[in-house]
Amino acid sequence: MNKQIQVAIDGPASSGKSTVAKIIASKLGLVYCDTGAMYRSVTWAALDRQVDLADQQAVAKLASQIKISFQPGTPDQRVFVDDVEVTKPIREAAVSSNVSTVAAIPAVRQAMTDQQRAIASRGGIIMDGRDIGTTVLPNAQVKIFLVASAHERAVRRYKENVAKGLDSQSLADIEAAIKLRDQKDSSRKVSPLRKADDAVELDTTSLSIDEVVSRILSIIEKSR
């Protein structure tokens, strides 16, 4: 296994990116970077500090000032903004409904991209997000683009929220929110969600987590 390998996994919300990335990172001894959690952390910080999300300059300034860090945790890695743990708050509805707005701000994306590239420069990494293969790590040796139906992704998110004890939106509301986020992420001017030309597309709608992991591991093995 090439310990310097870079694996980029992109795809829309709840397509399974983070789940499979964490498993693969553990199996291959790679560093895992949850870029979505970074944008959620900026969004949480802005809401917590009552920064007007329409004020792009203020949000970008905040993004450049806060320190986002990760620590091992069970079952999920722990996320911190400065010294405050935000592992659960960044998954709540208020953040989910606003993160696309924050992530569309060019200066915020640049600040996060700089941090993500710095993390990747330290060694073998698997990173998931929406613009990893196209923008953050364009030279990654392995690029995967995961897709799944909006309904299936909503079901996954609903079950995940219930399991984590988060505020429970209805399945219909979650599906509507996912479709809206897909539209926002795909149409933003800076680093929109799209499949890199050299990425392998994998539809996870009817696949189990183990099946997705197995297929990606096979793709990584063939890249050696």
Q: Residue with structure tokens 């799209």?
A: 194
Q: Which residues of 117-150 are buried (b: 16+ CB within 10 A; e: fewer)?
A: eebbeeebbbbbbbbbbbbbbeebebbbbbbbeb
Highest mean pLDDT among 40-54, 65-79, 185-199: 40-54
pLDDT, mean of residues 15-24: 93
Every domain of the chain and the residues it spans: 6-219
pLDDT, mean of residues 148-166: 90
Q: Residue with structure tokens 């933003």?
A: 188
C-alpha to C-alpha distance for 220 and 224, rounded to whole angstroms: 7
C-alpha to C-alpha distance for 161 and 155, rounded to whole angstroms: 10
Lowest mean pLDDT among 72-81, 122-131, 173-182: 72-81
Dump pLDDT digits (tens) for 84-142: 999 999 999 899 999 999 999 999 999 999 989 988 988 889 999 999 999 999 999 99
Instruction: Tell me the chain's radius of gyration from C-alpha atoms.
Output: 16
The answer to whether 170 and 104 have CB atoms below 8 angstroms apart is no
Is the confidence at residue 167, as pLDDT, over 80? no
The answer to whether 3 and 199 have CB atoms below 8 angstroms apart is no
What DSSP assignment string belongs to 113-153?
HHHHHHHHTTS-EEEEESSIIIII-TT-SEEEEEE--HHHH
Instruction: Name the CATH topology of 6-219.
Output: Rossmann fold (3.40.50)
pLDDT band at 164 (very low <50, low <70, confident <90, very high): confident
pTM metric for this prediction: 0.82
For 41, other C-beta atoms within 10 Å of its C-beta total: 29
C-alpha to C-alpha distance for 28 and 33, rounded to whole angstroms: 14
The answer to whether 16 and 148 have CB atoms below 8 angstroms apart is yes
Residue 140: per-residue pLDDT? 95
The secondary structure of residue 191, as a DSSP letter, is S
Residue 165: per-residue pLDDT? 82
